Amino acid sequence: MSTETLTIGKALNLGLRRAMEDDAKVVLMGEDIGRLGGVFRITDGLQKDFGEDRVVDTPLAEAGILGTAVGLAMRGYRPVCEIQFDGFVFPAYNQIVTQVAKIHARSRGRLAMPVVIRIPFGGGIGAVEHHSESPEAYFAHTPGLKVVAVSNPVDAYWGIQQAIAHPDPIVFLEPKRRYWDKAEVDTAAPPDPLFASRVVRGGDDVTVLAYGPMVKTALQAAEAAAEEGRSLEVVDLRAISPLDLDPVFDSVRRTGRCVVVHEAPVTLGLGAEIATRVTEQCFHSLEAPVLRVGGYDTPYPPSKLEEEYLPDLDRVLDAVDRALQF
Amino acid sequence: MCEWCHTRAPRDVHTARLEPATPAAAADGEEEHVSVSSATEVVDPVPGAGAPHLPRQPDLVQLLTPEGERVEHPQYAIDLDAEELRDLYRDLVLVRRWDVEATALQRQGELGIWASLLGQEAAQVGAGRALQPGDMAFPTYREHGVAWTRGVDPLHVMSLFRGVDNGGWDPVATAFNLYTVVIGAQTLHATGYAMGVQRDGAETAVLAFLGDGATSQGEVNEAMIWAASFSAPVVFFCQNNQYAISVPLERQSRVPLYQRAAGFGFPGVRVDGNDVLAVLAVTRAALAAAREGQGPTFVEAFTYRMGAHTTSDDPTRYRLASELEEWKLRDPIARVKAYLSRSGVADADFFAAVEAEADELAARIRRGTTEMPDPPGTAMFDQVYAEQTPHLAAQQAEFEAYQASFEGGAES
């Protein structure tokens, strides 16, 4: 067993490095990822060690990044595309939705599309507009794509390697405000498959679901609730598409209450889909409607307002209270 | 720049002229603007259209005139033996026959839609025959002539337009990608593929097809920036057929399309797209340059869509019949036939044999299309992912149970 203390950012960097060592067909592409090492330094040092053909500083055009990634994948490469910030993925949206997502199906499996699209997502860093968004529902709504969101250094290290080795295209969401969170990472073996949800804290009163940056918030809420004698079970969904909800159904059948937390606006967000499925599967166990805690249905606000916009410990506990009072 | 390359100042309404104007007069801005019809003529006269006897344009590569006269070009030479010439003619005729049959099948309800290549046979056969077996082509949705040259079974194209699948051919085995319907998206795929070729150290060239309308797309411009920046072995082959559905070229570009290449930093060539010899020569040279590491080329094949955009389109709403009549004088097949006859390369027996082969092909296409079975309903659940997800498997099971509930439905 070999253990290192790593931030999420460093874990991603080491995971990318290991994936590139394992498979010479892995090519990283993105804006400023080479010489600079990326604006968050996730690819720091990789161009120096793997060369400009494998860590490509691209022209500044996101559709170009994804469109050429499609061609590279057709030629047998495994492109890993970095989108610099969540709000800049939309120029590439056409390629992702009309091409990347469909090529395997429309070629009846003849063409594989093992493309990983890394996107630092979510708010909380005091940024200007287009730098704090949570676009996951757009991609989860698209058949042919898979979507994952990591919440911790272990999943960052292993998840990026699993995603790169996976045959389907994956939108890989990185919680940018948690890039500097640290944890012990066992670099010998992955603890979980990529698309499995995980119970990260056991509890009996309310099931709280989260992914990406909100897992930490949910755990903080559970800690605070425990001091008040309430026992929250926290599930890190990890995969957003496909969802792995069997552990969630088991949990809700015990607790009878479910709160879903995400930063994205609540309307037609992941919480809507999850609430529906939990209701379909656990209808007779539910003591309260499934409640959602998320961003408001507004454009992401200027940063002086983001603390009000983003779900935090208190808003999660407020929803927990409402679920328990039902 | 010669007169017909000029781009006039923008104006909102394109009107037909009362008097036929010569290209020179038009370039001088002397034409009268009188609204006589809601339909329009192209403002820039087609090079030489209606007057094929006029001097050739200096920057249009042509090796075979509309009258079937073989001419030389200082930069682009081609030397084909008799059999190669006859083969090109055969390609052109068979492809047109397929296209005509497909249009008829659509009219009879056997296809959902058909995107006709009528008039663009030379551009497509010339470009397709310029490819070497190891090269890779990225078509739009109209490249049936290129599909033919890659050995794609026409029925695998018909199945797409019948709604059976999204193209039944193997894009890897044929080195001919599946059709791309989102305008211009494939030019980036071609460029990325070419970047892969570079990384493989392979002597392979990539041919990206696009139309005049696609040149307005951001993605096409990104593809050309990428190709130039990485010196990727890709050739952009633009069939300028004068219209993006109804919108004429001048709404897409204020400069001749081939001149755009200069702005990206690679060569652009305008070739007579109705001259199969010139298209073959120019595309071969561009692909060879790409293979040799000289980077991309933009080829503008100047041609004309003689039919509708698709069988759902009505071109009488946006262009005059006289324009089509002018282009018929520049037909891509007639000139080859004239040349083959006059030069003694082919005789009446050969032409009759090709016609007979075309009839056989049409019959095979008709039979294969009408007999094509519908896919099973569960086919839509296949291959969404490399391995079906549990969620999708459950949805498919639900679908199958629902469908099964109709069998023997009298009792329910």
As a whole number of angstroms, the distance between CA A37 and CA B95 comes to 52
Per-residue pLDDT tens over the stretch B71-104: 999 999 999 999 999 999 999 999 999 999 999 9
The answer to whether residues B149 and B111 touch, using CB atoms and an 8 Å cutoff, is no
Residue B274 has pLDDT above 90, yes or no: yes
**Token pair 């808003």 in the structure block, residue:** A315
Start-end of H helices in A43-106: 46-50, 62-74, 93-94, 103-106
Facing residue for B189 by CB, picked from A74, A107, A108: A74
**Same domain for B5 and B144:** no
As a whole number of angstroms, the distance between CA A138 and CA A134 comes to 9
β-pair type (B297-302, B268-272)? parallel
**Same domain for B249 and B398:** no
**Same domain for B153 and B5:** no
Per-residue pLDDT tens over the stretch B286-306: 999 999 999 999 999 999 999
**Token pair 């030379």 in the structure block, residue:** B122
Domain A198-325, second-level architecture: 3-Layer(aba) Sandwich (3.40)
Instruction: Nearest chain B residue to A78 by CA: give it.
Output: B196
Residue B22 has pLDDT above 80, yes or no: no
Provide the number of structural domains found in chain B. 3
**Same domain for B32 and B135:** no
Percent of chain B scoring above 70 in pLDDT: 84
As a whole number of angstroms, the distance between CA B211 and CA B241 comes to 7
> For the purposes of burial, counting CB atoms within 10 Å of the CB of B344, is it exposed (0-12), middle (13-18) or buried (19 or more)?
exposed
Q: Tell me the fold of A3-186.
A: Rossmann fold (3.40.50)
Interacting residues of A304 by C-beta distance below 8 A, sequence separation 6+: none
Query: Tell me, what's the pLDDT at A1?
Result: 65
**Same domain for B320 and B397:** no
**Same domain for B138 and B27:** no
**Same domain for B389 and B354:** no
B222-243 burial string, b = 16+ CB within 10 Å, else e? bbbbbbbbbbbbbbbbbbbbbb
Instruction: Nearest chain B residue to A24 by CA: give it.
Output: B199
**Same domain for B365 and B250:** yes
Q: Which amino acid is at B351?
A: F
Q: Is A304 on the interface with B (CB under 8 A)?
A: no
- Specify if B410 maps to a domain: no
- Specify if B411 maps to a domain: no
SS3 A185: strand
Facing residue for B384 by CB, picked from A58, A76, A143: A143
The answer to whether residues A165 and A146 touch, using CB atoms and an 8 Å cutoff, is no
Using the beta-carbon criterion (under 8 Å), do B193 and A74 form an inter-chain contact?
A: yes
- Specify if B412 maps to a domain: no
- CATH classification of the domain holding B204: 3.40.50.970
SS3 A121: strand
Token pair of A153 as six digits: 């250094």
Query: Tell me, what's the pLDDT at B49?
Result: 47
- Specify if B94 maps to a domain: yes
Q: Is A196 on the interface with B (CB under 8 A)?
A: no
Token pair of B40 as six digits: 């329009």
Per-residue pLDDT of chain A (326 residues; tens, 9 = 90+): 689 999 999 999 999 999 999 999 999 999 999 999 999 999 999 999 999 999 999 999 999 999 999 999 999 999 999 999 999 999 999 999 999 999 999 999 999 999 999 999 999 999 999 999 999 999 999 999 999 999 999 999 999 999 999 999 999 999 999 999 999 999 998 889 999 999 999 999 999 999 999 999 999 999 999 999 999 999 999 999 999 999 999 999 999 999 999 999 999 999 999 999 999 999 999 999 999 999 999 999 999 999 999 999 999 999 999 999 99
Token pair of A71 as six digits: 């061609």
Would you tell me which residues 368-397 of chain B have a C-beta closer than 8 angstroms to some C-beta of chain A? 382-387, 389-392
Q: Of B162, B284, B305, B335, which residue is the catalytic one?
A: B305
Would you tell me which residues 244-283 of chain A have a C-beta closer than 8 angstroms to some C-beta of chain B? none
**Same domain for B156 and B212:** yes
Using the beta-carbon criterion (under 8 Å), do B222 and A59 form an inter-chain contact?
A: yes
A142-156 burial string, b = 16+ CB within 10 Å, else e? bebbbbbbbbbbbbb
Query: Tell me, what's the pLDDT at B56?
Result: 52
Q: Which of B199, B204, B225, B380 to mutate to test the interface with A (most CBs of A within 10 A)?
A: B199
Checking B125-128 for CB contacts under 8 A at 24+ apart, the result is B125/B88, B125/B91, B125/B92, B125/B95, B125/B149, B125/B276, B125/B279, B126/B88, B126/B275, B126/B276, B126/B277, B126/B278, B126/B279, B126/B280, B126/B283, B126/B301, B127/B207, B127/B209, B127/B237, B127/B279, B127/B280, B127/B283, B127/B299, B127/B301
Query: Tell me, what's the pLDDT at A306?
Result: 97
As a whole number of angstroms, the distance between CA B2 and CA A273 comes to 62
> For the purposes of burial, counting CB atoms within 10 Å of the CB of A317, is it exposed (0-12), middle (13-18) or buried (19 or more)?
buried
Per-residue pLDDT tens over the stretch B130-153: 999 999 999 999 999 999 999 999
Per-residue pLDDT tens over the stretch A98-119: 999 999 999 999 999 999 999 9
Per-residue pLDDT tens over the stretch A181-206: 999 999 998 889 999 999 999 999 99
Query: Tell me, what's the pLDDT at A189?
Result: 86
Query: Tell me, what's the pLDDT at B59?
Result: 87
- Specify if B346 maps to a domain: yes
Give the domain extent around B391.
377-405
> Of the given ranges (A109-123, A154-168, B33-47, B374-388), which has the lowest mean pLDDT?
B33-47
Residue B23 has pLDDT above 60, yes or no: no
Q: For the sheet containing B297-302, what is the strand order?
A: B60-61, B268-272, B297-302, B234-240, B206-211, B136-138
**Same domain for B361 and B249:** yes
- CA within 13 Å, CB half, B390: 7
Q: Is A168 on the interface with B (CB under 8 A)?
A: yes
- Specify if B144 maps to a domain: yes
Residue ranges, comma separated, of all CATH 3.40.50.970 domains in chain A are: 3-186
Facing residue for A72 by CB, picked from B196, B382, B391: B196
As a whole number of angstroms, the distance between CA B397 and CA B395 comes to 5
Residue B57 has pLDDT above 70, yes or no: no
Start-end of H helices in A23-152: 46-50, 62-74, 93-94, 103-106, 136-140
Residue B344 has pLDDT above 80, yes or no: yes
ipTM greater than 0.85, yes or no?
yes
Instruction: Nearest chain B residue to A143 by CA: give it.
Output: B384
